Amino acid sequence: MARERKFTDDELFKATKSLLIEEGYDAFTFSKLASIMEVSRGSIYKYYENKDELISEFLMYEMNLFLKGFNELDKSGDFQTQFYLVIDFIFQHSEIHQILEIINQIPKKSSNRVSSNQTQLNTYHTDMYKQFQSLIEQGKKERVIKSHLSDAIILGMTFQTIAIPNHFGIPQDEWVASIREILSEGMFQRE
């Protein structure tokens, strides 16, 4: 028994995502967002107290989606199969790298709602890393991964590869295959 909404949360998150990814956290403003949505700036304040609140809610939404997919990956194969599945998955969701970086750009002095989201986001982050870490452990048990390499470096290196800029526009298939190969076997020829 009220007026119809001009936009849904999903539409808002979609615009938020493109604006955040194109311009970054600092250049993200309610003015720009409102203009994309073709809505007045004031109306967004009806639903989110400020930029940090909106962004932290958006990040929760994105992380949930990502983790849902991550958790649904087939856990039945041997290490190598699972490892390759994970790599393919993270490359299909390469925005996750930027998302994770934005989490740390939200100032800590924010409202309660934001703080609690930040805590939750860090938990998600850690959980994801823990899951990946247990995959690494499996790899070490199966004697596929070298045991003298620390989990931290394997994890860091794997996730960092998402952000390598593909300046020359090498096709995604070749790109991912090469990265997978280098991570596994290195760039040096075997003698």
Partner DNA sequence: AGTCAAAGTGACACTTGTGTCATTAATAAA
Partner DNA sequence: TTTATTAATGACACAAGTGTCACTTTGACT
Contact residues toward DNA (CB under 7 A) are 1-7, 29-32, 39-43, 45-46, 49-51
How many CB atoms are closer than 10 A to CB 114?
A: 22
Residue type, 8: T
Give whichever of 19 and 179 is closer to DNA, judged by the CB atom: 19
For residue 109, the partner it binds in a copy of itself, DNA, none, with Cβ less than 5 to 8 A by kind, is none
Q: How many residues bind a copy of itself (CB under 8 A)?
A: 37
Question: From CA 129, how far away is CA 90, in angstroms rounded?
Answer: 13
From 5, 13, 54, select the one nearest 36 (Cα to Cα). 13
Q: How far from 176 is each of 10, 89, 113, 164, 183, CA to CA, in Å?
A: 30, 11, 38, 11, 11
Residue span 127-166 as binding mask against a copy of itself, x where in contact by CB under 8 A, dash where not: ----------------xxxx--xx-xxx-xx--xx-xxxx
For residue 166, the partner it binds in DNA, a copy of itself, none, with Cβ less than 5 to 8 A by kind, is a copy of itself
Give whichever of 40 and 64 is closer to DNA, judged by the CB atom: 40
**Do the beta carbons of residue 90 and residue 159 sit within 8 Å?**
yes
Minimum distance of DNA from residue 43's CB (angstroms) = 4
